[in-house]
Amino acid sequence: MAPSNGLVHRWKRQSATEATTTALETSTESLKQKFDEEVRYVATKTGLQRWHVILALLLLAAGIVGFCGWCIWRFFKKKRPKDKKKKDGRMDQDDEDILVDNIEEHDVREETEKVRDAKEYLGKLQYKLEYDFNTQTLNVTVIQCSELPALDMGGTSDPYVKVPYSETFDKTLVFAVFDYDRFSKHDQIGEVKVPLCMVDLAQTIEEWKDLQSVKVDDQYLGDICFSLRYVPTSGKLTVGILECKNLKKMDITGASDPYVKIKLLDRKGKRIGKKKKTSVKMGNLNPYYNESFVFIVEQEQLRRVNLELTVSDYDRIGTSDPIGRVSLGYNRKGAELKHWKEMVENPRRPVIHWHVLQDPEPGDDDDDEKKKEKKDKERKKEGEKKEVAPP
DSSP secondary structure letter of residue 358: B
pLDDT value, residue 350 = 93
pLDDT value, residue 78 = 46
The ranges assigned to domains in the chain are: 124-210, 223-368
Please say whether the beta carbons of 289 and 281 come within 8 A: yes
Three-state secondary-structure class, residue 276: strand
For domain 223-368, the CATH superfamily is C2 domain (2.60.40.150)
Query: Over the stretch 58-110, which tens digit does the pLDDT of each residue have?
Result: 888 888 888 888 878 766 654 444 444 444 444 445 554 544 455 454 554 55
Instruction: Give the integer Cα–Cα distance in Å for 139 and 130.
Output: 5
pLDDT value, residue 85 = 43
**Alpha carbon 50 to its chain's center:** 59
pLDDT value, residue 97 = 52
pLDDT value, residue 31 = 75
pTM of the entire structure? 0.43
Q: How far apart are the first and last CA of the chain?
A: 162
pLDDT value, residue 116 = 45
pLDDT value, residue 346 = 93
Point out which residues pair with 241 in neighbouring strands: 226, 291
Please say whether the beta carbons of 345 and 303 come within 8 A: no
Q: How many CB atoms lie within 10 A of CB 346?
A: 13
pLDDT below 70 — which residues of the chain? 1-21, 23-24, 74-120, 153, 165-170, 182-186, 215-219, 318, 361-391
Query: Over the stretch 271-305, which tens digit does the pLDDT of each residue have?
Result: 988 999 999 999 899 999 999 999 999 999 999 99
Where does the chain have alpha helices with state H? Answer: 5-46, 50-78, 93-120, 334-345, 368-388
Q: How many CA atoms lie within 13 A of 172 on its CB side?
A: 10
Q: Do domains 124-210 and 223-368 have the same CATH topology?
A: yes
CATH of segment(s) 124-210: 2.60.40.150
